[in-house]
Chains A and B, each alone.
Chain A
Amino acid sequence: MTVRFVTAADDLRPAYDLVIVGAGPAGMAAATEASRTGARVAVLDENPRPGGQIYREITRNQPGARQYLGADYWKGKALGNAFAESNADYAARATVWSIEPADEPRDGERHRVGVTIAGAARMIEAAAVILATGAQERPMPVPGWTLPGVLTAGAAQIALKSSGVVPAAPIVLAGCGPLLYLLASQLIDAGARDMTLLDTSRPVLRWESLRRLPGFLFSPYLRKGLGLLLRTRRRIRVVTGVRSLEILGEDRAEGVRFATARGTSTINASTVLLHQGVIPAINLASAAGCPLAWNAAQRAFQPVTDAEGRTPKRGVLIAGDSAGIGGAQAAEIAGRIVAVAALSDRGLVARDVSAALINRLQRQRQRYFRGRGFLDALYAPRHIFLAPPDAQTIVCRCEEITAGKLREAISLGPPGPNQLKTFVRCGMGPCQGRLCAATVTEIMAAERGTSPADIGTYRLRAPVKPVRLAELAGLPHAPRALKAVTGRDPVDHHLNETELPS
């Protein structure tokens, strides 16, 4: 078998047993597992080829040409091949902008998935939906972070994986987390030069991380992590203990001013790569009405799920990093677990078979959870980079709302981020809060002296990605909706309202 490539919205079936959003490790694994059962599966993914961000272009890249991507990257090859051989319908370049869960899915009642492919929108139905939307980088709002020349570390890694390009020198990597060192090492291997890494991690191992050390000693991350750290430190300039950061430049990044305990320095930079960890991409889950919960260890909101990925919305499941950060290999196993759970719930896999399989997979996954807590605690971002103290720093990049303006509005006492949003428009731009939600919550929590858990985050609505008005207009016009808009029962000529202006 091979996947069936879907290149137009009309080529999708009207209904599937399982619709999977995202073709990263969790999505590909879920599709591969589910298609073994004979279920009708569709995978909808935004990128032109499968792999997600972590295994970006895994089906096109060959180890010979891009050896520098490292062994962990090439692990995705087998999964990419397995996915390509599954019998799923695979729509690349597909934007899912809405999940409308059935209120109480009974037999025949299905969730509706709004998707755009090649400029046309379509609503398809699904008995079950798996969201495998992965992670995004945690925003790192520092003065100057909106300047051209500033990218996320993830962006530089994506460019390296997909196009074999490296940032222009001098390069400054700034922030914390394992990805920063991995990227540095990949860039060196690829041939990039003139690099400085500004490590903003807190200098001393704190109790929270030490407490989790025993788990880490047995985790697969240990050898890899230490190796990376040492290798990077030998080959580029690494400055530790960086406790403030400012990107300088008028119309583009030209330098970075930073402070450590030893004082303030300024260095030149053509490209600045920021990173302080990753957080779950929750927009689609949140807009589908899935409740969110605060993960204190990972300092992020994530959808509420059980161990098999079920959300309280029946038939909507979440797999991989979008349910809580666990990394690519844990995501791959999660994809399989969640697929089996989804199909078993719909009666498409026998319960005893699914229970045994899930059990086995859970044990495999356990290995990747070991040491996570240590990493989370070790790389917890400094508060100054979560809630920028400088009033002029832009928090909402789309609407250009500064930290100062937010604090002023917070002082009026709005009950939470959603009221704050209406007051100052933070989170109302096209990114829909993806780049400011985390910061807004952190600032509000700090101002109120409470936990982000008590503050909450934006309530999101479809479309979670922009969709052209003409695409929406091209969807079928249900009589009930016509009545709701026009106030009258549709007569025949109203049913032809799909006609568009020429």
Chain B
Amino acid sequence: MLKRLREIEEPVSFTFDGVQMQAQRGEMLATALLAAGIGHVRRSVVSGAPRAPYCLMGVCFECLVTVDGLQNRQACLLEVEEGMVVESQRGAPDVLAHFRDEKRQQP
């Protein structure tokens, strides 16, 4: 959806739905996802329709993704960091997913 005009100079690596990607250091996650050719980053909580970043300035909440386990983060307000684990937001979050993980970790 977005095209880089020049090569990444200072790359940072992150994953989106398990796929390794690169961004320019200091770049916003939403822009990095679009520049990496990602079509949509989430499915709407109402109809399940695909949605993608729209305003890139924190207003529209279309770029919500799960970042390092935290759901519904605004990707346009987060800088990509090395090793970031990003997942698409498929509909409404499942709070128990987190809860179950915690339980599993307990002896």
CB pair A252 B28 closer than 8 Å: no
Chain A residues with CB below 8 A from B2, complex form: 159, 163, 165-168, 271
Chain A residues with CB below 8 A from B26, complex form: 48, 60
Bound: A59/B56 CA distance, A: 19
Choose from B35, B49, B50, B59 the contact partner of A281 (Cβ within 8 Å): B59
- Give residues 55-105 of B contacting A (CB, 8 Å): 55-62, 64, 72, 77, 79
Say if the beta carbon of A102 comes within 8 Å of chain B: no
With A155-B53, A155-B54, A430-B64 given, is the CB distance from A400 to B59 under 8 Å?
no
- Give residues 17-55 of A contacting B (CB, 8 Å): 46-48, 53
Chain B residues with CB below 8 A from A147, complex form: 50
Name A166's closest neighbour in chain B (CB-CB): B3
Contact mask B22-45 → A, CB, 8 Å, 1/0? Answer: 001011100110110001100010
With A151-B54, A163-B35, A164-B6 given, is the CB distance from A431 to B1 under 8 Å?
no
Q: Could you tell me the dominant secondary structure of chain A's interface residues?
A: loop
The total number of A-B Cβ pairs within 8 Å is: 120
CB pair B59 A165 closer than 8 Å: no
Interface size on B, residues (CB 8 A): 37
CB distance from B39 to the nearest CB of A (A): 5
Name B73's closest neighbour in chain A (CB-CB): A466
Name A52's closest neighbour in chain B (CB-CB): B57
Bound: A212/B101 CA distance, A: 64
Say if the beta carbon of A152 comes within 8 Å of chain B: yes
CB distance from B11 to the nearest CB of A (A): 13
Chain B residues with CB below 8 A from A154, complex form: 55-57
Chain A residues with CB below 8 A from B79, complex form: 48
CB pair B39 A148 closer than 8 Å: yes
- Give residues 137-187 of A contacting B (CB, 8 Å): 137, 146-152, 154-155, 158-159, 162-169
CB distance from A70 to the nearest CB of B (A): 16
Choose from A95, A165, A400, A429 the contact partner of B35 (Cβ within 8 Å): A165
Say if the beta carbon of A107 comes within 8 Å of chain B: no
CB pair B56 A151 closer than 8 Å: yes
CB pair A163 B54 closer than 8 Å: no
B residues bordering A, Cβ < 8 Å?
A: 1-6, 24, 26-28, 31-32, 34-35, 39-40, 44, 46-47, 49-62, 64, 72, 77, 79
- Pairs A–B under 8 Å by Cβ, sample size 23: A47-B77, A53-B57, A95-B77, A137-B59, A147-B50, A148-B52, A149-B1, A150-B54, A154-B55, A155-B55, A158-B31, A162-B31, A163-B35, A165-B31, A166-B2, A167-B1, A167-B3, A252-B40, A252-B50, A397-B62, A430-B61, A430-B64, A434-B59
